[in-house]
Amino acid sequence: MVQVATSILSADFAKLGSEVKALDKAGADWIHVDVMDGCFVPNLTMGPMVVQSIRPYTKKPLDVHLMVKKPSVLIPAFAQAGSDIITVHLECAEKMENLIALIKKFHKKVGISIKPKTKVADIIPYLPMIDLVLVMSVEPGFGGQAFMPQALKKIAELKALIGRKKVLVEVDGGVNDVTAPACRLAGADVLVAGNYVLKNKSKAGAIKKLKGKS
């Protein structure tokens, strides 16, 4: 069954710990942390101290998505703060093999994310080295954007390329009860959702809908 990674980008930061605790209780499989540097993407969000501060509130995996130009500067701090999965962008300014090795040095799971305009073929050389591919179904940088349908073709293409390899396909951007069924059908293993879950009166109900349970 598909897993749901709830993004805290839309959370109330004045009570972040209790928000994470509520998402855990509601049935979130992972907690997704969107990190933006104001350079790779125009927005600026949270640092390693946020991961460290929420770590005591959940035992669920902390899924850290680094939307940054130079991930190597931040990977050690995020790893030591309590991240479980660290995802870097294929389009960043650094050599991917070095970033993968650095994340593995800290015994964390490795993800690579691709923007909407990046070809799936570009990620093929790295598939044997990683645990996850994150398909962006919006342009990274801001929450609340509309889902780009072309992401569905990428998900299906990736699933075919991965075959029996133990590599998960995650999709992030505009995921809700309307777009989730198509993502599941295309083969997505993990759905990232922020606004849809956090702004819903029933977080548990929203997560169940994303999983196709109701």
Looking at the annotation, which residues are catalytic?
Answer: 34, 172
Q: Annotate the chain with three-state secondary structure.
A: CCEEEEEHHHCCHHHHHHHHHHHHHHCCCEEEEEEEECCCCCCECCCHHHHHHHHHHCCCCEEEEEECCCHHHCHHHHHHHCCCEEEEECCCCCCHHHHHHHHHHCCCEEEEEECCCCCHHHHHHHHHHCCEEEEECCCCCCCCCCCCCCHHHHHHHHHHHHCCCCCEEEEECCCCCCCHHHHHHHCCCEEEECHHHHCCCCHHHHHHHHHCCC
